[in-house]
Amino acid sequence: MSRILGIESSCDETAVSVVEDGKTIISNVIASQLDVHAPHGGIVPELASRQHVMNIAPTVLKALSDANVKLKDLDAISVTNGPGLAGSLMIGVNFAKALAASTSVPLIGINHLEGHIYAAWLDEVDPANDIGFPLVCLVASGGHTDLLLMEGHGHYRLLGKTRDDAAGEAFDKAARVLGLGFPGGPAIQNIAPSTLSKETFTQPHFKSGNALDFSFSGLKTAILNRAKTLGIYPPDLTNPSESLIADLAGGFQEAIVTSLVSRISQASQMFNAKGVILGGGVAANSLLRERAKATIDLPVITPAPILCTDNGAMIAACAHHKISSMADLGSQLSIDIYPTWRLGI
Ligand code: KG4
Ligand code: ZN
């Protein structure tokens, strides 16, 4: 049995978890910084680092005590060492190094995007394992929108990526235009009507290049112009036009989901995928989850929403699979941080 501590501090959540065998979550603690960043309408890197400094030790201690596990009982300490905000990454990595150095528990650095994919293995029945490979994986978060072919554990090919904004970033910017607050994804999902919106947005058309790429910056400009034309931008928070805002939010969500699902579907046919994994904060979106399952005639693995947004369990799950395939973990006490680390290039 393996028992791994997962530490995640790449962005705005200090998150720590203890996971057994890459699968069973024994504890999962998330110290959210939402209240700190929300008034600024987005993440302020300097504030994020400071919050991590304050939260990292109590969060690690709580994850260990919730799991009723002592440091010396751990088989490994895993930590996100990229991609992400440099200052935020450094807090988690240095804390993990200190823990590892003082206990002689092995340390392993994990790619945050790969962690998002491994959230799929945190299910009781381990569905991803049964399906086999290749799997088409979408990692859609605040900073990335990558479509990957997972050909085996730890083996990825980048099939497509966003040419401009990430999907989560587009949700966040659209929510700001509509006066819905931060983070934008959940705000847009909550206000969007369950029926199709009257307001629709056209899909971007690529004249050249990779057809599996994404583009969301045009949508962001389109919703801003539409909101101006309809007289609801700048948002009048004292007199919000609820139904108009909801309709625009619904149309915007529909456009993003259509763009994501069409590429996933196309890629899974092109590469004879055995299944699909949705990961990253945007994969918490209920329309995306439903639409992908309804459209794609393959198993579509959608981790619980709390495991799609940033968490330590996904880092520990990924570490378990990495360590299983390593002859000797060795000493990773001198690992660096990689703020722009990509997967599958
Ligand atoms: O993976 P994540 O928690 O952090 C990063 O690695 O960036 O993703 C955060 C992003 C934010 O942009 C947020 O608006 C978006 O995920 N998000 C959602 C939903 N929940 C979070 N987007 C759409 N629908 C949601 N329900
Ligand atoms: Zn993330």
- Residue range 160-217, pLDDT digits in tens: 999 999 999 999 999 999 999 999 999 999 999 999 999 999 998 898 999 999 999 9
pLDDT band of residue 239 (cuts 50, 70, 90) is confident
Return the sign of the alpha-carbon dihedral for residues 177, 180, 184, 190: negative
Nearest alpha-carbon partner for 312 in 115, 41, 153, 132: 115
76-82 and 24-32 strand pairing: unpaired
Residue 113 CA to ligand 2 center (angstroms) comes to 7
Is the shortest distance between the CB of 344 and ligand 1 below 6 Å?
Answer: no
Rounded Cα gap, residues 145 and 263, in angstroms: 11
pLDDT in tens, 91-126: 999 999 999 999 999 999 999 999 999 999 997 566
- Give the pLDDT score at 69: 98
Atom of ligand 1 nearest to the CA of 310: 3
From 282, 288, 310, the mutation candidate for ligand 1 (largest count of ligand atoms within 8 A of CB) is 282
What is the average per-residue pLDDT within 322-330?
Answer: 87
Residue 80 CA to ligand 2 center (angstroms) comes to 10
Domains and CATH numbers, the chain: 3-118+307-325 (3.30.420.40), 132-302 (3.30.420.40)
- The bound ligand whose nearest atom lies closest to the alpha carbon of 140 is 1
The three-state secondary structure class of 152 is strand
- Give the pLDDT score at 336: 98
Rounded Cα gap, residues 295 and 263, in angstroms: 11
From 112, 302, 309, the mutation candidate for ligand 1 (largest count of ligand atoms within 8 A of CB) is 309
Mean pLDDT of the chain: 95
The full DSSP string for 240-302 is --HHHHHHHHHHHHHHHHHHHHHHHHHHHHHTT-SEEEEESGGGG-HHHHHHHHHH-SS-EE-
Distant-in-sequence, close-in-space partners of 24: CB < 8 Å, separation ≥ 6: none
Is the shortest distance between the CB of 185 and ligand 1 below 6 Å?
Answer: yes
Residue 146 CA to ligand 1 center (angstroms) comes to 14
- Give the pLDDT score at 13: 96
Is the shortest distance between the CB of 143 and ligand 1 below 6 Å?
Answer: yes
- Give the pLDDT score at 331: 78
pLDDT in tens, 12-39: 999 999 999 999 999 999 999 999 999 9
The phi and psi torsions of 305 (rounded to 5 degrees) equal: -50, -40
H or E segment to which residue 190 belongs: helix 184-191
Residue 208 CA to ligand 1 center (angstroms) comes to 29
Residue 18 CA to ligand 2 center (angstroms) comes to 18
Which residue, judged by its Cα, is nearest atom 7 of ligand 1?
142
Rounded Cα gap, residues 235 and 16, in angstroms: 37
- Give the pLDDT score at 238: 81
Is the shortest distance between the CB of 95 and ligand 1 below 6 Å?
Answer: no
Rounded Cα gap, residues 51 and 298, in angstroms: 41
Atom of ligand 1 nearest to the CA of 286: 26
Is the shortest distance between the CB of 84 and ligand 1 below 6 Å?
Answer: no
Is the shortest distance between the CB of 282 and ligand 1 below 6 Å?
Answer: yes
- Model confidence, pTM: 0.97
Is it the case that residue 127 has pLDDT exceeding 70? no
Residue 280 CA to ligand 1 center (angstroms) comes to 7
Residue 77 CA to ligand 1 center (angstroms) comes to 26
What is the average per-residue pLDDT within 236-252?
Answer: 90
- Give the pLDDT score at 21: 95
Amino acid 139 reads V
Is it the case that residue 138 has pLDDT exceeding 70? yes
Which residue, judged by its Cα, is nearest atom 2 of ligand 1?
281
Residue 10 CA to ligand 2 center (angstroms) comes to 8
Integer angstrom CA distances of residue 103 from 2, 73, 272:
17, 10, 46
Residue keyed to tokens 């819905």 = 180
pLDDT band of residue 129 (cuts 50, 70, 90) is low
Is the shortest distance between the CB of 141 and ligand 1 below 6 Å?
Answer: yes
